[in-house]
Amino acid sequence: MSDLLATLYPWTKSLHIMSVIAWMAGIFYLPRLFVHHVEQSSNAEMDETFQMMEKKLLKVIMNPASISTWLFGLLLVFTPGIVDWSMVWPWLKAASVIAMTWFHHWLAKRRKDLAAGTNTVTGRQYRMMNEVPTLLMVVIVLSVVVKF
């Protein structure tokens, strides 16, 4: 099995990177949709439009991209010679990816709140929360590239 993973490494890494790009695009965009949704909440037609956009972004792009990011990432972890667990970077990356996954689920819950009309988060708070994935991305990329 390890020989197969080593042979497929360039493909696995490529698919992992593509999955991460798709996931991050959604995770950056969904909170921005929430900002506009909250700030246009008095318009029923816009409410329906935002709900449709948010649901499709989450279900069609973000959820599959998150799953494939995890799948290909775990395949990379199990590829011999790729991860040295005696270093700090894989632990920092793992913690950051878990935090990014938590943020994804937090966004999914906020989408359900918006759809149910029970949202309590303001546009300003969504703007602030939109910085969370940026900070996590910085930690993840630096961990993998610099390998401290």
Rounded mean pLDDT for each run of 10 residues along the chain, 148 residues in total: 91 98 98 95 88 98 98 96 95 98 98 96 95 96 94
84: alpha, beta or left? (left if phi > 0; alpha if psi -120 to 50): beta
pLDDT of residue 148: 85
Within the chain, residue ranges assigned H as helices are 2-7, 9-39, 44-56, 63-78, 89-116, 123-129, 132-146
The pLDDT score that the predictor gives to residue 108 is 98
State the total domains in the chain: 1
CA 7, 13, 16: angle at the middle one, nearest 5? 135
Cα angle: 24, vertex 147, 7; to 5 degrees: 75
pLDDT at 5: 94
How crowded is the C-beta side of 65, counted as CA atoms within 13 Å? 20
What was the pLDDT predicted at 72? Answer: 98
**Residue 67: per-residue pLDDT:** 98
pLDDT at 41: 73
pTM of structure: 0.93
> Helix (H, G, I), strand (E, B), or coil: what is residue 85?
coil
Q: What is the pLDDT of residue 33?
A: 96
Residue owning tokens 């913690």: 95
Range of the domain at 77: 2-146
